[in-house]
């Protein structure tokens, strides 16, 4: 809990994480692609949308509960999948995040590249859980992962479609950073500068993609094997196949165009997830809050819409919900908390967002999420 008493927003958590983590690890959380234009825009574009509150509304009781793809949650906030969370807190990682999400009554999403296994997460939390996947060249890998997720009680599947190849993340290149980290002059120097992190690394199991433990990676190791499995020929037929073999609630993540949102509906997706991968893929792409209204209009009531990217305060969430999102998803906010103080830090991040959402709904004159609509937001001119 050291330092959390002085944390009053997500930026404060970011500052704590920066102090605790080696630079290469912090930059892996914090950085984006190329010049990081989209990374900045994801946050800054919320400022262009102004809130119009209603006066003299009974806000003595604020109800933030909802369901997303059938999963109940205490607030419309989803803990989005991010890879290798033990990098950011070797003792906690995905386990710490899943526990914090469960304690907050929020939906937790496990990355297929997580550093904790599907089964280990299922044992830690009875709360709603979704699993994230890519379409690999070896379809047997996908099918095996989905069977494991079903057996472990995961109820939703997320297909990420905005990573046909890795984005150009120059902070990682400057730090000579890889996942898992390789020993070189830069990485050793940075880890030695953070003795607490180094102690945790030395006294916990090696960080690996836990869900690939049973695969034979070949000569270039597990990450080389995984990188070879990214399928650059993937199409909408593959997404339809994924939906069919899963057979349950299904979201497609990485959509910014209305025509692609319509294709999601056409192949049977239950949710369209508006995302540019946190500005980590195509720099110069549309900020997600700007993409949201057209996608909501394209989808109508045929699928739910989830938005991630740039969420830092309750007012950001109110704006996204008013513009038609069913829920928002967060990545960096809880990763800053994880890096700063493990499970306690994640809980702090989630509590800040849920508490500020509740307050900002009251200030907006909204007692129930269903009351929100576009009239609460003044959109910027085209």
When pLDDT is cut at 50, 70 and 90, the band that residue 181 belongs to is confident
The phi, psi pair for 311, rounded to 5°, reads -70, 120
As a whole number, mean pLDDT of residues 263-267 equals: 98
Sequence-distant (6+) residues with CB within 8 A of 330 are 77, 78, 79, 80, 308, 311, 349, 353
Residue recorded with tokens 């070879």: 228
Is 2's pLDDT higher than 70? no
Q: Write the pLDDT tens digit of every residue in 66-122.
A: 999 999 999 999 999 999 999 999 999 999 999 999 999 999 999 999 999 999 999
Whole-angstrom CA distances from 56 to 53, 263, 363, 365 are 10, 43, 10, 8
Predicted confidence band of residue 332 (pLDDT cuts 50, 70, 90): very high
pLDDT digits (tens, 9 = 90+) for 202-251: 999 998 889 887 655 555 555 566 667 777 888 999 999 999 999 999 99
Residue 166 pLDDT: 85
Asked whether the predicted pLDDT for residue 252 surpasses 90, the reply is yes
pLDDT tens for each residue of 186-202:
888 888 889 999 899 89
pLDDT digits (tens, 9 = 90+) for 297-323: 999 999 999 999 999 999 999 999 999
Q: Is the pLDDT of residue 380 over 70?
A: yes
Rounded Cα–Cα distance for residues 166 and 34 (Å): 12
| Predicted local distance difference test score (pLDDT) of residue 185 | 80
The rounded distance, in Å, linking the Cα atoms of 91 and 101 is 17
Whether the CB-CB separation of 350 and 308 falls below 8 Å is answered with no
CA 174 to CA 205: how far, in whole Å? Answer: 27
Q: What pLDDT digit, counting tens, does each position of 109-168 carry?
A: 999 999 999 999 999 999 999 999 998 888 888 999 999 999 999 999 999 999 888 899
The pLDDT of 17-44, averaged and rounded, is 97
Counting the structural domains of the chain, the total is 1
Q: What is the CATH number of the domain that holds 330?
A: 3.20.20.70
Task: Check pLDDT > 60 for residue 337.
Answer: yes
Q: Are the CB atoms for 310 and 46 separated by under 8 Å?
A: yes
Give pLDDT, residue 38. 98
Which residue is catalytic, options 8, 89, 277, 348? 277
pLDDT for 342 equals 97
**What global pTM score does this model have?**
0.95
9-19: average pLDDT = 97
Q: Which residues contact 191 (CB under 8 A, 6 or more apart)?
A: 22, 181, 197, 198, 201
Spell out a b/e string for 278-305, using b for 16 or more CB atoms within 10 Å of the CB, else e.
bbbbbbebbbbbbbbbbbbebbeeebbb
Quick one: which of 74, 136, 141 has its CA closest to 108?
Answer: 74
> Is 8 part of the annotated catalytic residue set?
no
Q: Which domain holds residue 101?
A: 4-378
The mean pLDDT of the chain is 93
What is the chain's length? Answer: 382
Residue 216, pLDDT score = 55
């Amino acid at each position: 809990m050291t330092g959390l008493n002085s944390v009053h927003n997500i930026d404060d958590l970011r500052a704590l994480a920066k102090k605790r983590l080696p630079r290469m690890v912090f930059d892996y959380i914090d950085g984006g692609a190329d010049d990081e234009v989209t990374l900045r825009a994801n946050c800054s574009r919320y400022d262009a949308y102004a809130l119009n509150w209603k006066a003299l509304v009974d806000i003595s009781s604020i109800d933030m509960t909802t369901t997303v793809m059938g999963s109940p949650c205490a607030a419309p906030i989803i803990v989005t999948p991010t890879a290798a969370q033990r990098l950011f807190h070797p003792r906690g990682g995905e386990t710490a995040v899943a526990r914090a999400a469960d304690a907050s009554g929020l939906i937790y999403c496990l990355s297929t590249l997580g550093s904790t296994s599907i089964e280990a997460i299922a044992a830690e939390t009875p709360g709603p859980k979704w699993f994230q996947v890519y379409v690999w060249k070896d379809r047997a890998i996908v099918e095996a992962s989905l069977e494991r997720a079903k057996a472990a009680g995961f109820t939703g599947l997320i297909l990420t479609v905005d990573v046909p190849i890795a984005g150009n993340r120059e902070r990682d290149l400057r730090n000579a950073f890889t996942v898992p980290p390789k020993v070189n002059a830069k990485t050793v120097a940075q880890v030695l500068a953070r003795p607490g992190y180094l102690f945790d690394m030395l006294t916990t199991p090696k960080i690996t993609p836990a869900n690939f433990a049973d695969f034979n990676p070949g000569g270039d190791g597990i990450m080389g094997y995984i990188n070879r499995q990214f399928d650059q020929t993937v199409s909408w037929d593959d997404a339809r196949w994924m939906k069919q073999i899963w057979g349950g609630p299904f979201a497609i993540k990485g959509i910014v165009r209305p025509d692609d949102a319509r294709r999601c509906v056409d192949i049977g997706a239950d949710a369209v997830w508006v995302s540019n991968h946190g500005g980590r893929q195509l720099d110069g792409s549309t900020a997600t809050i700007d993409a949201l209204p057209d996608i909501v209009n394209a989808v109508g009531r045929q699928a739910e819409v989830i938005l991630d990217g740039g969420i830092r305060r309750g007012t950001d969430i109110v704006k996204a919900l008013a513009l038609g999102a069913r829920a928002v998803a967060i990545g960096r906010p809880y990763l800053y908390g994880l890096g700063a103080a493990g499970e306690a830090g994640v809980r702090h991040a989630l509590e800040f967002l849920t508490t500020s959402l509740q307050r900002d709904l009251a200030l907006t004159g909204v007692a129930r999420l269903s009351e929100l609509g576009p009239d609460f937001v003044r959109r910027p001119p085209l």
